[in-house]
């Protein structure tokens, strides 16, 4: 009987080690996923900044071109280039708004993914905790007869 209890205890210990290992693996997966999402977010942010910089560079170039041609061509050309300048500026502003929207959307998506993964991990943890509680109850059930057996041996060494 003692061997069975010891064997059961050893199985419980192995099982708990396995559960710890699973939890660590899940945590590592989540950490890896967070790093991937953060990397994607950084990459998209970098590309958005690059687009804004290119548009700003284009805007600067067009502004310089506007000033040179405006002096030479007069009132009519000034109107045309002002319109073009405004269009580019609107495009830059639109890109900035889009960049902010993409950043907010990415943050929301990241939160949703992390929340989902956290809920999944918490559900697994609850299931493992429930299983651990069941194993603890079984272990306690084995301890009571073992304690009684030890008391009998103390009271009756021939037993």
pLDDT tens, position by position, 57-74? 888 888 888 777 667 767
Window from 49-53, 65-69, 121-125 with minimum mean pLDDT:
65-69
pLDDT (average), residues 90-94: 88
Would you say residue 50 lies in a domain? Answer: yes
Would you say residue 159 lies in a domain? Answer: no
The pLDDT value given to residue 158:
67
The pLDDT value given to residue 69:
67
CA distances from 41 to 38, 45, 52, 93, 155 (A): 5, 6, 16, 21, 71
Closest of 24, 37, 28 to residue 114, by C-alpha: 37
Would you say residue 104 lies in a domain? Answer: yes
Residue 108 confidence class, pLDDT cut points 50, 70, 90: very high
Residues 116, 149: Cα–Cα separation, whole Å: 50
Would you say residue 151 lies in a domain? Answer: no
* Residues 6+ away with beta carbon under 8 Å from 55: 88, 91, 92, 95
Domain tally, the chain: 1
The pLDDT value given to residue 65:
81
Would you say residue 61 lies in a domain? Answer: yes
The pLDDT value given to residue 78:
65
Q: What is the span of the domain harbouring residue 51?
A: 2-143
What does the buried/exposed string (b/e) look like for 121-139 if buried means 16 or more CB atoms within 10 Å of the residue's CB? eeeeeeebeeeeeebeeee
Whichever domain contains 39, its CATH number is 1.10.287
pLDDT (average), residues 39-58: 91
The two tokens of residue 46 are 């970098």
Would you say residue 118 lies in a domain? Answer: yes
pLDDT (average), residues 34-55: 91
Would you say residue 154 lies in a domain? Answer: no
Would you say residue 22 lies in a domain? Answer: yes
Residue with tokens 């902010």: 100
Model confidence at 132: pLDDT above 80: yes
């Amino acid at each position: 009987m003692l061997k069975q209890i010891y064997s059961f205890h050893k199985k419980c210990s192995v099982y708990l080690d396995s559960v710890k290992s699973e939890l660590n693996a899940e945590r590592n997966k989540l950490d890896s996923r967070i790093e991937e999402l953060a990397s994607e977010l950084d990459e998209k942010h970098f590309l958005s900044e690059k687009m804004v910089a290119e548009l700003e560079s284009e805007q600067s170039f067009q502004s310089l071109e506007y000033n040179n041609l405006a002096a030479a061509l007069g009132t009519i050309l000034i109107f045309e280039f002002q319109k073009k300048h405004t269009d580019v500026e609107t495009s830059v502003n639109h890109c900035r708004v889009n960049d902010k929207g993409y950043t907010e959307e990415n943050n929301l998506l990241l939160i949703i993914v992390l929340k989902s993964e956290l809920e999944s991990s918490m559900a697994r943890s609850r299931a493992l905790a429930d299983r651990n509680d069941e194993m603890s109850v079984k272990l306690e059930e084995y301890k009571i007869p073992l304690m009684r057996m030890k008391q009998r041996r103390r009271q009756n060494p021939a037993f």
